[in-house]
Amino acid sequence: MSIGDLDYSWFEWVNSKADHNVFLDHIMIFFADYLQYAFALLLVVLFLINRNYSRVIAMQAGFALVLGFAVNRVIRFFFFRDRPFVSHEVHQLVEHSTSSSFPSDHATAAFAIAFTIILCGSRTRYIWGILAIGIALSRVWVGVHYPLDIMAGALNGIIMASFTHYIVFKLKPLNPIFESTFFSGRNTTRNF
């Protein structure tokens, strides 16, 4: 069995659960299409509250997100993969363009932001991590991604968040900028 066959069998197993429970389908549609806006709102709120280095966290997450999307674009330049609903009979619960499925931008974004929050030690870190997993699973459930698309996007988001946190934002020339009151906020403890 090839990796592609295994990926499709995982997809079939998850996607076959769709269209059987209206309540669960609505939850998955919410996670797949609308929960991403909560992640964007989180970054705006973190930037606006300006406490406990929240602006630095928002900047880190935003930078990791941009890097993750850039990597996705490079991958798609060399590798195009049809979405499941293009190649197979699926339970498609949301509309989507026929753009390349690999890797998932939703998974990249959710994991870049959630993993940045985790690395920064926020009290809400596990909630955002669970929500990112929910977004990832829901994209398969609603029929717009294969599991490997999701795994690649999640891995990309985690790598970009780690790179941004441990390398980019630790560069000595940037330290004075992020230690300024504009970024450090009113309270200088790391948890927000």
Specify the pLDDT at position 26. 95
Higher pLDDT, 174 or 21: 21
Which residue type occupies 14? V
Structure tokens at 110: 């959710």
pLDDT at 99 over 50: yes
Asked whether the beta carbons of 102 and 75 are under 8 A apart, the reply is yes
pLDDT at 192 over 60: no
- For residues 142, 13, 72, 129, the Cα torsion angle rounded to the nearest 10 degrees is 80
pLDDT at 185 over 70: no
Among candidate residues 71, 97, 51, the one with its CA nearest the CA of residue 155: 71
pTM: 0.87
Detail the DSSP E strand segments found in 26-111. Answer: none
Specify the pLDDT at position 34. 94
**Where do the domains of the chain lie?**
21-77+102-184
Residue 145 — very low, low, confident or very high, per pLDDT cuts 50/70/90?
Answer: very high
pLDDT > 70: percent of the chain? 89
pLDDT tens digits for 158-170? 999 999 999 887 7
